[in-house]
Amino acid sequence: MEYKTTKEYAKNLDRKDTLAKYRNQFHIPLQKNGEEYIYFCGNSLGLQPKKTKEYVDQEIIDWANLGVEGHLNAKNPWLPYHEFLSSGYANLLGAKASEVIAMNTLTVNLHLMMISFYNPTKEKFKIIIESDAFPSDIYAVESQIRLHNLDINKSLIKIKPREGETVIRIQDIENLIEKEGDKTTLILLGGVNYYTGQVFEMKKITEQAQKKNIKVGFDLAHAIGNIRLNLHKWGVDFAVWCSYKYLNSGPGSIGGAYIHEKHHSAHLPRLCGWWGHNKDDRFKMPKKFNPIQTAEGWQLSNPPILSLAAIRSSLSIFDEVSMEKLIVKSKNQSKYLRDLLKTINTERIEIITPEDSGCQTSIRVKYGNKLLYEKISEEGIIADWREPDVIRIAPVPLYNSYLDIYKFYKILHKLIK
């Protein structure tokens, strides 16, 4: 173990890293003293790719020069602009291009999907969710239940880790599906839990749930651009995501939705808008809504092109590097981080993320208050703190080096000693 705790070892890992060159394609924020921050917050807001400016400028320029004509005559015409993102997204999600659509923001998409996929009846009306799901997801689900005039206490099942444990066992999810399946109509989980970093076994959960005629949706905010996804093959009914975390597409940039093709022409309830209408006669302004028979049919409005441009820039990097290579590096980086952390006093910190998860490692600070987090921040580390006692660290294979991880370890080690 000892040899790993040297700076030379970290530098050597960087020298051997074939993806190391991509760091230079991102803007790394600088401290007041001119040094780069150690940025471990890609799970919250990914860094800006340098070429994103070019992509956004192109649309700014075309807008200046062409005005409304840009819809058809821009270098990248705005009318079909969202279609330029479909294959990139499809690759990341393991979906068909027709199953994905860049639109709205995550929580909005979650609502739109629940309008289509949460159709409670007298017998089958419950939703299963993680007890520590991201609050927005809980608010969304509860408000959907209320929208159907149902009682949240009777309709929402929050699955928890066992007493004394921090992550949910797959066995417990399966048991719950077995026990509550007949009354449950929807299961909604994060692909990766935002707090613990736990990766859910999406394939298994989907299979189990669908045997009980339960619809399955995943919130992929922390999964897309992070772990391998195979939504189509797994038969997942729907998924939603945002593009500003691992996808590096800028603050508040628009998200997306995946809808399995088996639902495209089914007559599901949905909220409609003109951008979801059949492209052939959309501009004839017909009175009757006729949805596009792909995921595009769920669009409401014409999308923000500047945001799509930033996403397009980012997806071009993922296309070039490939998820497979990123995952290999991410696993190596996580393992390196864990090995280093194991040499630190375990009375003070505990890793709560299971091994072999994605980029994120959540570290519980024992008897902790926020002080340790504040101290590492003063030392130039950008991580984040989640109440009551967790520091989340996410080395991102596109722009974090092994040296970043080493420096973090040294600082933490010093502070805990």
Which one of residues 90, 242, 309, 352 is an interface residue with ligand PLP (CB under 6 A)? 242
Which one of residues 22, 117, 118, 134 is an interface residue with ligand PLP (CB under 6 A)? 134
* Cα separation, 20 vs 200, whole angstroms: 29
b/e sequence 50-81, b meaning 16+ C-beta within 10 Å? eebeebbebbeebbeeeeeebeeebebbbeeb
CA 37 to chain centre: 23
CA triple 30-33-39, angle to 5 deg: 30
Q: Of the two residues 224 and 412, which places its CB atom closer to ligand PLP in the complex? A: 224
Candidates 11-19, 102-110, 355-363, 405-413 — which segment interacts with ligand PLP by CB under 6 A?
A: 102-110
Q: Of the two residues 194 and 258, which places its CB atom closer to ligand PLP in the complex? A: 194
Q: Of the two residues 197 and 276, which places its CB atom closer to ligand PLP in the complex? A: 197
By rule CB under 6 A, what count of residues binds ligand PLP?
13
Tokens of 285: 């302004």
Residue 385: beta bridge partners?
A: 391
Residue 135 C-beta: closest distance to ligand PLP, Å: 8
Which one of residues 38, 56, 90, 106 is an interface residue with ligand PLP (CB under 6 A)? 106
Q: Of the two residues 221 and 405, which places its CB atom closer to ligand PLP in the complex? A: 221
Is 277 near ligand PLP (CB under 6 A)?
Answer: no
Which one of residues 48, 52, 107, 362 is an interface residue with ligand PLP (CB under 6 A)? 107
Which one of residues 48, 105, 116, 307 is an interface residue with ligand PLP (CB under 6 A)? 105
Candidates 103-111, 113-121, 180-188, 395-403 — which segment interacts with ligand PLP by CB under 6 A?
A: 103-111
Q: Of the two residues 166 and 193, which places its CB atom closer to ligand PLP in the complex? A: 193
Which one of residues 194, 275, 298, 399 is an interface residue with ligand PLP (CB under 6 A)? 194
Is 310 near ligand PLP (CB under 6 A)?
Answer: no
User: Which of the residues 216 through 235 are near ligand PLP (CB under 6 A)?
Assistant: 219, 221-222
Q: Of the two residues 144 and 401, which places its CB atom closer to ligand PLP in the complex? A: 144
Torsion of CA 379, 385, 389, 394, to 10 degrees: -80
Residue 274 C-beta: closest distance to ligand PLP, Å: 23
Which one of residues 42, 190, 250, 397 is an interface residue with ligand PLP (CB under 6 A)? 190
Residue 265 C-beta: closest distance to ligand PLP, Å: 28
Is 136 near ligand PLP (CB under 6 A)?
Answer: yes
* Token pair 């992509």: residue: 55
Which one of residues 137, 296, 389, 404 is an interface residue with ligand PLP (CB under 6 A)? 137
* Cα separation, 128 vs 266, whole angstroms: 24
Is 237 near ligand PLP (CB under 6 A)?
Answer: no
Q: Of the two residues 190 and 250, which places its CB atom closer to ligand PLP in the complex? A: 190
Q: Of the two residues 55 and 134, which places its CB atom closer to ligand PLP in the complex? A: 134
Candidates 134-142, 155-163, 360-368, 406-414 — which segment interacts with ligand PLP by CB under 6 A?
A: 134-142
Interacting residues toward ligand PLP by CB under 6 A: 105-107, 134, 136-137, 190, 194, 219, 221-222, 242, 255
